[in-house]
Chain A
Amino acid sequence: MSATLSATATIAACVVLTLVVFVIDAWAIRRMRQAILQIPRQDPREDPLDPDVD
């Protein structure tokens, strides 16, 4: 009985760890995406060094 319980705990730990890793990796990608979207896009037609552009 205790061997079965111990085996169940081990299997559960492995499954939960795997799911946690996938969630962490997906969360990291989501954060990267948000960071990329927050940086404003530089319009190639606009020259930032042009003194006429305020």
Chain B
Amino acid sequence: MQSQFILRLSSPPVFFRLTGKALPWLIGASLLLGAIGLWSALFVTPTDAQQGEVYRVLYVHVPTAWMSMLLYVVASFYAVLHLVFRTSVSAVMMRAMLPTGAWMTLLALVTGSLWGKPTWGTYWIWDARLTFELLLLFIYLGLIAVASLIDDERKTDQLLSVFTLVGLVNIPLIYFSVVFWNTLHQGASLSMSGGSKMAPIMKATLFVCVLSMWLGCAALAVARARWQLVDRERDSAWTSSVLV
């Protein structure tokens, strides 16, 4: 049943139709959760005992940093799907993650830098986590360049899939950099093994902000993928209702 649904989704007209229906919901949910998260982050959550008010940057910085990594992992998932099944949908989804992922990485670096000045006394330091995050930005930009430089779409899809999977090695390096190396960057505030150091209301607000950011990024990536799909399937019969 589930595999049937996934197989149906890999059909370009089905993907275009279903994502067209899902897109307004994704955008609406992202805006609603974003408004709730922002309101809670600014007016509900208490002031941090150590950092004061400036810690509230966390509600923007952490979601963007997580999205920068998550979008890369999702792009890698589609890269594997593309290498195995060679479908157009997997190729456009992999490509569509890259610009939004690059923006999220840039945002994580800039917001982190703005947070670093009042807390660390500097905008930038060649700390392990910051350096690997900067490397992630370069990987995204490199992949975007590869995607736009080569004319043959099918060959580019293959090359891009392989390059994306090679770059995946950077993601655990970013995530575990605070464990592997002695860095200035703080350790994980939320851990999968439990024992969070955050107050419940802070954790709930962060969760809402992350969810809003994820839905927003998903909406952007899906919107980009739909039109890239129409462009590459321009001569197929199903695009006649979309293109004049």
Q: What is A's interface to B at a CB cutoff of 8 Å? A: 3-4, 6-8, 10-11, 13-15, 17-18, 21-22, 24-26, 28-29, 32-33, 36-37, 39-42, 44
Closest residue of B by beta carbon distance from A42: B235
Of A15, A21, A25, A44, most buried by chain B (CB within 10 Å of CB) is: A25
Are B111 and A14 interface neighbours, CB within 8 A? yes
Taking the complex as formed, is B103 at the interface, i.e. its CB lies under 8 A from any CB of chain A? yes
- A30 vs B31: C-alpha distance when bound (angstroms): 18
Are B56 and A7 interface neighbours, CB within 8 A? yes
B244 in complex: contacting residue of A4, A6, A24, A41, CB < 8 Å: A41
A10 in complex: contacting residue of B57, B103, B216, B240, CB < 8 Å: B57
Taking the complex as formed, is B230 at the interface, i.e. its CB lies under 8 A from any CB of chain A? yes
- A26 vs B103: C-alpha distance when bound (angstroms): 12
- A11 vs B53: C-alpha distance when bound (angstroms): 9
Per DSSP, chain B at the interface is: helix
- A24 vs B228: C-alpha distance when bound (angstroms): 18
Hey, which chain A residues are within 8 Å of B106, CB to CB?
A: 21
Hey, which chain B residues are within 8 Å of A7, CB to CB?
A: 52-54, 56, 118
Return the CB mask of B31-56 against A: 1 if under 8 Å, else 0.
00000001000100000000011101
Across chains A and B, the number of contacting residue pairs, with CB separation under 8 Å, is 84
Contact residues of B between 97 and 130, Cβ < 8 Å to A:
99-100, 103, 106-107, 110-111, 114-115, 117-118
Return the CB mask of B210-244 against A: 1 if under 8 Å, else 0.
00000010001001100110110011010110011
Hey, which chain A residues are within 8 Å of B82, CB to CB?
A: none
Hey, which chain B residues are within 8 Å of A24, CB to CB?
A: 103
Are B243 and A22 interface neighbours, CB within 8 A? no
Closest residue of B by beta carbon distance from A44: B235
Hey, which chain A residues are within 8 Å of B239, CB to CB?
A: 41
Report, as a range, how many residues of chain B touch the other chain. 35 or more
- A29 vs B100: C-alpha distance when bound (angstroms): 11
B107 in complex: contacting residue of A21, A28, A32, CB < 8 Å: A21
Q: What is B's interface to A at a CB cutoff of 8 Å? A: 38, 42, 52-54, 56-57, 60-61, 64, 99-100, 103, 106-107, 110-111, 114-115, 117-118, 216, 220, 223-224, 227-228, 230-231, 234-235, 237, 239-240, 243-244
A29 in complex: contacting residue of B64, B216, B220, B230, CB < 8 Å: B220
Closest residue of B by beta carbon distance from A16: B60
Hey, which chain A residues are within 8 Å of B243, CB to CB?
A: 36-37, 39-41
Q: In the complex, how many angstroms separate the beta carbon of B223 from the nearest chain A beta carbon?
A: 5
Q: In the complex, how many angstroms separate the beta carbon of A31 from the nearest chain B beta carbon?
A: 10
Closest residue of A by beta carbon distance from B55: A7
- Given the known interface contacts A14-B61, A21-B107, A28-B99, the answer about A33 and B52 at a Cβ–Cβ threshold of 8 Å is no
